[in-house]
Structure 1
Amino acid sequence: MAYLPVGLNLKNRRVVIIGGGSVALQKARTLCAYEASVELFAREVCGEIRQLPLIWHEQREYHPDLLQGAHIVYAATNDRSKNQQIGHDAQQRRILVNVVDDPSHCDFVSPALYREGEMSVGVTSNATNPRASIALRNRIRDFLAGGRND
């Protein structure tokens, strides 16, 4: 698959995350940095998510009605079949979805991001090698940090 890198304006747009663990936490942090209106639903929510000031979360089982009105959805549970179901439910509602553990069910993938001020750099491997994307993002970050003339 080949994913088109784009910049999305998510300010005040409803983004739903289903899942409450470390992957959901990572997605929530990134989305908050871009001013999305994040709503997170999971049976169990890790303490770090509860401490994020910019998201609303609720401990509850997944139900397709939770997707209503979402701009995009992240299926980030630790249950692969549930993630696929969330992906299917979102696609049936014509909502863009990222199934974090299965790129073949994604409408989009999240790049490895580096942001400084108004500038953002995203690196993607089209979901084939996230570690390589992160490594290249870090090299770009280090290069830019070394080239500053403060």
Structure 2
Amino acid sequence: MKREDLLFLPISINVTNKKILLIGGGKVATHKGTIMARFVQNVTVVSPEFTDEIRKLPFTFIQKEYEKGDLEGYFLVYAVTGNHDLNAQIKADAEELGILTSVCDAPLLCDFVSPAIHKQEHVTISVGTNARDAYQAVAIRNQITNLFENGTLHI
């Protein structure tokens, strides 16, 4: 399968009282975590190292190397280790357990992808490109944000 063949259903998932696991503690994990913190706090981050910025998020941190047993009890998993082989192993382990997984920079391995998001009050606007072009999604999201900021769009 090619990236162009991927189809992602744009849905919002109820994560109330659901546990989310973020595996990785670097720059990309920090970015993902910062976005997640706007919506949920029931996130555990597993990594041998963490950026100072990610440590500021309202999450639980476990400083260690990934092991398959770390996945037990989680609803969603984000594999953002910076190591393609390890991310692929995390995906395979999670798939065995029936856990939906997003693998950073590997759309062909993803069960779901995170869209570019504009959140204002109770309204969340998501822009996705079926994992083809994250920069395009962010550019469109930024245009939407500008419409709110300049008063053209209202809630």
TM-score > 0.5 by shorter chain: yes
The whole-number CA distance in structure 2 between the counterparts of 1:84 and 1:128 is 19
* Paired position in structure 2 for 1:46: 51
The residue correspondences of 1:80-95 to structure 2 (distance < 5 A) are 80-95=84-99
* Paired position in structure 2 for 1:18: 23
The whole-number CA distance in structure 1 between the counterparts of 2:127 and 2:140 is 7
| Percent identity (aligned) | 34
Unaligned residue ranges in structure 2 (runs of 5+):
1-5
* Paired position in structure 2 for 1:126: 130
Asked whether the 8 Å contact 1:16–1:38 carries over to 2, the reply is: yes
The whole-number CA distance in structure 2 between the counterparts of 1:4 and 1:64 is 28
The whole-number CA distance in structure 2 between the counterparts of 1:14 and 1:32 is 13
Q: Secondary structure at the match of 2:37?
A: helix
Q: Secondary structure at the match of 1:74?
A: strand
Corresponding residue pairs, total: 149
1:113 paired with 2:90, answer no
Asked whether the 8 Å contact 1:14–1:36 carries over to 2, the reply is: no
The whole-number CA distance in structure 2 between the counterparts of 1:25 and 1:140 is 24
Q: CA deviation at 1:36?
A: 4.2
* Paired position in structure 1 for 2:61: 57
When normalised by structure 2's length, the TM-score is 0.91
AA aligned opposite 1:59: Q
Unaligned residue ranges in structure 1 (runs of 5+):
none
When normalised by structure 1's length, the TM-score is 0.94
Moved over 4 A (4+): none
